[in-house]
Structure 1
Amino acid sequence: MAAADRTTASRDRSLATFAGLAIALFGLPSLSGATRALRIDLHPLVTIAAQWALLGLVVGIAIGIEGRSLRSLGVRRPSRRDAVPLLVAAVFGFLALAATGPLIDALGLPERRVTGLDIDRVGVEVAVASAITIGVVEEALYRGYAIERLAEYTGSARLAGGLSVAAFTLSHAVGWRLGDLLQVSLAALVFTLVYLYRRSLVPVVGAHIAIWLFGVLGAVYG
């Protein structure tokens, strides 16, 4: 009976991990796709709350069902060793987004040429909250949870990182164009490489937030 119970518990944890991966990889694009398909214009604060809810669901699965700790999502205590990787991720992540314009033009790829921050409509405070939310939620889902669980399934952190980059890029295909996706894929590659180097969310979350906050400042003072 005990062996059967252990088998059942193991199967339940595997199913929970599968569900967690599905939410981590497809939750955000599903939310965006559903609002577009239904032509629902969510208030920015509602969108922010929904993004945090998705992260909360994944964290709940990891801790409550899988029986893991926050370290299994890449959560580590910040240290001085995170400073250089954070700076590298911020600089090269920004360059991936801002310095690829000539390449996109040369390839003739369509792009939106917008930052995604409608500050005139939502206000600076909400834009800052959105920047922080995007940085934390996307990195925790795609870099933390997804890479760690995919690495366990595949036995390869590099393969897990590649799958994460692909999923992150495709998640932006809802409402984004080919030129934008090229930029997103390059930024995702930068964040993934830094995460695999440190196996910590601290530098990638910090860099991701910094890039979006730079966009907020550019929209306000540019």
Structure 2
Amino acid sequence: MATPEEPARSRVRPAVALAVCAALWFVPTFGQPLTGPIADALRTLHLVSDGTDADAAWFIATLVLRWTAAALLLLFVLAVERRPLSSLGLARPRGKHLLLAASLALPVMMTGIAVQALLTGGRPDETTQTSQIVESLDLPQLAHLIVNAAIVEELFFRGMLIERTAELTGSTAVAVTVSFTLFVASHVPGSGWVSALTVVAAGTVLSTGLYAVTRNLYPCIAAHTVGNAPLLLSA
């Protein structure tokens, strides 16, 4: 028979994991003083050309910090939690799930863009931080952004957040709702309310839905990648 302390103990591990997840998500924010040295190092390694725009170089350095945060999250799961990466949904996916994700991504994103256009009169806000960043990047840099966003954001907001919140609350529905809300809200500062509640929300519905159904991160990564692919047209 379970003691009263056992349910409480069972909630400690996912609570700690969520706290670590939140802390690591802000590594790129608190690591901003490192972006200058990182950009210089990337130039030395010829991974960033000397003629790269200063804003673009800063953003690429920020992406490096995001990769670092993701690597630390994986290390935490393996070395501290002592759990397999499948506990984050990183397991062999089914082909039909990948196909479903890829086929739905563009229609869902185009629907979000259409709703945004209706709300803005077809005039996208080019003053947002996201718009300015995208305009400063060339084609390879945009491709890097798309891959980074698809892997890092899905790892944090779908794999870790949904799985550990479901363990903490005992409810997948609550976990999916928390993931959706926090992900959309995280895009408001950079993209603005209209874009966050249309384009971002549409893609987030797809990603959270896919994860709830498959409990596998790869279809979500595929959908995120295909959904953001039109950004390449702005290069």
What is the TM-score when the length of structure 1 is the normalising length?
A: 0.77
What's the counterpart of residue 19 of structure 2?
19
What's the counterpart of residue 5 of structure 1?
none
Q: CA RMSD in A?
A: 3.3
2:187 to 172, 180, 184: 172
What's the counterpart of residue 209 of structure 2?
193
C-alpha distance in 1 between matches for 2:139 and 2:173: 38
Q: Which amino acid aligns with 1:187?
A: G
Unaligned runs of 5+ in 1: 1-8
Once the two structures are superposed, the pairs formed by residues 1-222 of structure 1 within 5 Å of their partners are: 13=13, 16-23=16-23, 27-28=25-26, 31-32=28-29, 43-105=58-120, 111-112=125-126, 116=131, 118=133, 121-183=136-198, 184-216=200-232, 218-220=233-235
C-alpha distance in 2 between matches for 1:91 and 1:50: 28
What's the counterpart of residue 51 of structure 2?
none
What is the TM-score when the length of structure 2 is the normalising length?
A: 0.73
SS at match of 1:99: helix
C-alpha distance in 2 between matches for 1:83 and 1:127: 23
Query: Which aligned segments of 4 or more residues in structure 1 are displaced greater than 4 angstroms?
Result: 9-15, 32-35, 110-115, 117-120
Give per-residue Cα distances to partners, 1:71-91, cap 9 Å, x unaligned.
Answer: 011112133222333134413
C-alpha change, 1:152 and 1:119, in structure 2 (3 Å) is: closer
C-alpha distance in 1 between matches for 2:10 and 2:231: 45
How far the C-alpha of 1:63 sits from its partner, in A, is 1.1
C-alpha change, 1:137 and 1:162, in structure 2 (3 Å) is: same
Unaligned runs of 5+ in 2: 1-8, 33-53
C-alpha change, 1:22 and 1:174, in structure 2 (3 Å) is: same
Query: Identity, % of aligned pairs?
Result: 25
C-alpha change, 1:84 and 1:113, in structure 2 (3 Å) is: farther
Q: Which amino acid aligns with 1:148?
A: E
